[in-house]
Structure 1
């Protein structure tokens, strides 16, 4: 479980996150959505410990994240574009990540076969396609069976078969009690995976509820139309210019 309480973050005079509070439950997929500049990236960096908020707190499975790096051992992170040394092979990346984590019991062999990556594991990353690199990123994020999984545009660059397998895996981990945080511009993907939506506007939480509630509130049948309705309401009420 992730608990966010009264989080504030500014860069100079520019406020990026303003007093945001919410809970992300274990055994759920929470999608953090919003237009560009809404604070999504900064929030994800706060979760990862890459950015420190000026005020407020983040608690992950009972451990305060602010200034305490111990919680990171619970995290698996799959970025939109992973940056590993280009001269390393996939197997060397997995060995490196294992050494950094200090964990010997991993599931990468099963994941390598699951994502059909075996034939590429001894090739330098520089020689791999974007889709194969994304598979390497997926294995590196998932091989430790993390309690909390952070997914930033996870299917970017993946072919339809691998994309489907990754989504099936995420749903399987959700059933096992993993806390999953998802950001994606592919709304059909969000609709398929997420059961909870947090929508940020100008650094504040504009909507916090289930996908079902969002559709019911807006009277729309799809997430895309429901979000469009939210934005139209925000514009009409002066929340969004």
Structure 2
């Protein structure tokens, strides 16, 4: 589904990505991990066309994404911090996004699942960060997108909503969906991910399963495996 070839990106003098290559062909959950500044969010934004690389190619279903915008209609994107217009209500925002995408949406079950019924006519500027994140979830999952990109999706969620989000991801994965997720919650990665792409200084240090990373680092859990990598690089 996604193929990245020899991707380079710098911002001014800062080289963020340096010759990144990887591909994702099967459905499942791929966790993109790495320390702050390693290029995780930049990779997600290049796939979405929000950031243009200096070099390299990105392919979606074997078609280059450069100058091709239609593929984005097949992607659900959940940014780490959603910036909504403060003067719109939740209901107005959802209707606006539905009109923009102009495809079938199934928001009602998600609104009920995350307890947003009482917030539908509230202004977005009046909502807490956790409630805004629930709105973010509804906007991301309400379309039948084969690829979902989630950038730190657990930010601000209460424990009940986190459990519901994990169950939702698992359900959508079982329907054949593909996920790219960045997160600092290692328990989430161990529970849901089929594959890890670990970035270090703009390059891919490791790609494989959680168990393969544990075996490579000689550690019993993912958190200690990541710590081992970072200690070795220090």
Query: TM-score, normalising length from structure 1?
Result: 0.93
Equivalent residue number for residue 82 of structure 1: 82
- Of the structure 1 ranges 54-63 and 200-209, higher mean CA displacement relative to structure 2 is found in 54-63
SS at structure 2 position matched to 1:145? coil
Aligned-residue offset at 1:2: 1.2
The runs of 5 or more residues in structure 1 that have no matched partner are 236-241
* 1:58 aligned partner: 58
Q: Helix, strand or coil for the counterpart of 2:139? A: helix
In structure 1, the residue matched to 2:198 is 199
> Displacement of 1:13 after TM fit?
3.3
Deviation of 1:113 after TM superposition, in Å, equals 0.8
Once the two structures are superposed, the pairs formed by residues 16-165 of structure 1 within 5 Å of their partners are: 16-103=16-103, 105-165=104-164
**Deviation beyond 4 Å, 4+ runs, structure 1:** none
Match of 1:43, SS?
A: helix
> What is the number of residues matched between the two proteins?
234
1:144-163 CA-to-partner distances (Å, cap 9, x unmatched) read 12111011111111111111
Q: CA deviation at 1:62?
A: 2.8
Give the RMSD, CA atoms, in angstroms.
Answer: 1.3
In the alignment, structure 2 segments of 5+ residues that lack a partner are none
Q: Give distance in 2, aligned partners of 1:110 and 1:220.
A: 41
Q: Per-residue CA shift, 1:8-27, capped at 9, x if unaligned?
A: 11223332111110112332
Answer yes or no: is the 8 Å Cα contact 2:30–2:195 preserved in 1. yes
Alignment-derived partner of residue 171 in structure 1:
170
**Aligned mates of 1:134, 1:19 — CA distance in 2:** 33
1:210 lines up with 2:209 in the alignment: yes
Q: Provide the C-alpha distance between the structure 1 equivalents of 2:209 and 2:231, rounded to a whole number of angstroms.
A: 20
Paired residue secondary structure (2:92): helix
CA distance in 1, matches of 2:124, 2:165: 20
Q: Give the secondary structure class of the aligned counterpart of 1:165.
A: helix
Provide the residue aligned with 1:238 in structure 2.
Answer: none
2:180: which partner in 1? 181
> Is the Cα contact below 8 Å between 2:41 and 2:151 reproduced in 1?
no
Q: Distance in 1 between matches of 2:171 and 2:211?
A: 21
